Amino acid sequence: MAVTPSSSGTKDTRKRQLEFNKLRKRLRRQVGHAIVDFNMVEAGDRIMVCLSGGKDSYAMLDILLHLQSSAPIAFEIIAVNLDQKQPGFPEEVLPNYLEELGVPYYILERDTYSVVRSVIPEGKTTCGLCSRLRRGTLYGFAQQIGATKIALGHHRDDIVETLFLNLFFGGKLKAMPPKLLSDDKQNVVIRPMAYCKEQDLAAYAEAKQFPIIPCNLCGSQDNLQRQEIKGMLQAWERQYPGRIETIFRALSQVSPSQLCDRDLFNFNDLSIEIDREVHLPELRVVQL
């Protein structure tokens, strides 16, 4: 006896598909706007897409591949993963995924895990050293393969969280720029998902069923300052919906003259033009 799907089940499926289509369209549009606003991708670019195995980098690669197929200019995409030799890391997951996609890729092997564990005392956060080692390796490899851009999977929430991390713990007013020239002037870093919400990316990753690989080195740490900031921002967002977006928008509407950075704005030479021929009135009560 044949079993036909119920009408309610069909409606639910259609609803989920419609919601996913809207989500995909929104993310692609936001990535496209970020690319245009900051001139992230140019004709002939060879873009090294850093793939960690997390939801954000999977989504970035997926969306960039779509844009590559529809863009009016030609550019290359090369996926690169840094295998940091964390215990239990499933080495076959990313190669299998990328082979299936047909994307050119490299897997870099460097035991930064042992380095971090040998340097950082037990109970201390490892993200600072880990990120520096990872960044140095990826920057160097980008030059080896002639990459003109390095694409990282940071999103809007990452950028806002970094703003408050620097503000609260570093005493600096800075965040993550959507486009960055490295200190040695040898690499250009782009963040195509700068306009995307983490919540949307999580939903997208779940719908696409990306083979997520958790980070056993830092993902289990509860004492991260970033986690504290994330919790604070999420609490604000629940109380005042849209606050994170407002904060992010403020990063593109900066008024240097309303801050205190003397290198950013010339306070010393502020002056007004006055008529030197004007004399003081007699010293008495002046009616205005």
Question: What residue segments make up the domains of the chain, in order of their start?
Answer: 17-253
pLDDT band at 187 (very low <50, low <70, confident <90, very high): very high
The residue with tokens 């020239």 is 181
Q: What distances in angstroms separate CA 211 from CA 31, 65, 80, 154, one per listed residue? A: 22, 17, 16, 19
Other Cβ atoms closer than 10 A to 243 = 15
123 or 187, which is more confident: 187
List pLDDT tens digits, range 39-66: 999 999 999 999 999 999 999 999 999 9
Entry pTM: 0.86
The domain defined by 17-253 folds into Rossmann fold (3.40.50)
Average pLDDT over residues 100-114: 85
Task: Please list, in sequence order, all residues whose beta carbon lies within 8 angstroms of the beta carbon of residue 215, skipping any fewer than 6 positions away.
Answer: 52, 54, 86
Give the pLDDT confidence score for residue 1 in this predicted structure: 46
